[in-house]
């Protein structure tokens, strides 16, 4: 199925996740995981977007002091 993981293994993982996080937290965990994956994919597709110039970093340091 998913790289050698069968249905039985997926069910065991799901049960462990339910025990650790509980049924109420599961949607929050899924949402956070989805946002993280989305941010990771966007940073890979456009690596220049997340970078700041050296001048911007120095300006931030001067303003904080």
Which CATH number does the domain housing residue 58 bear? Answer: 1.20.5
Q: Structural domain of residue 35, as residue ranges?
A: 7-64
Name the 3-class secondary structure at 22: coil
Domains: count for the chain: 1
Average of per-residue pLDDT values in the chain: 77
Say if 28 falls within a structural domain. Answer: yes
- Is the Cβ–Cβ distance between 26 and 17 less than 8 Å? yes
Distance, CA of 48 to CA of 54 (rounded, Å)? 14
pTM, two decimals, is 0.47
- Over residues 19-40, the pLDDT tens digits come to 988 888 888 888 998 999 999 9
Whether the pLDDT of residue 18 is over 70: the answer is yes
């Amino acid at each position: 199925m998913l790289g050698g993981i069968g249905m039985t293994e997926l069910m065991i993982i799901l049960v462990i996740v339910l025990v650790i996080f509980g049924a109420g937290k599961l949607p929050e965990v899924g949402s956070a995981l989805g946002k993280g994956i989305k941010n990771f994919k966007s940073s890979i597709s456009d690596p220049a977007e997340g970078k700041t110039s050296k001048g911007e970093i120095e300006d931030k340091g001067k303003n904080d002091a």
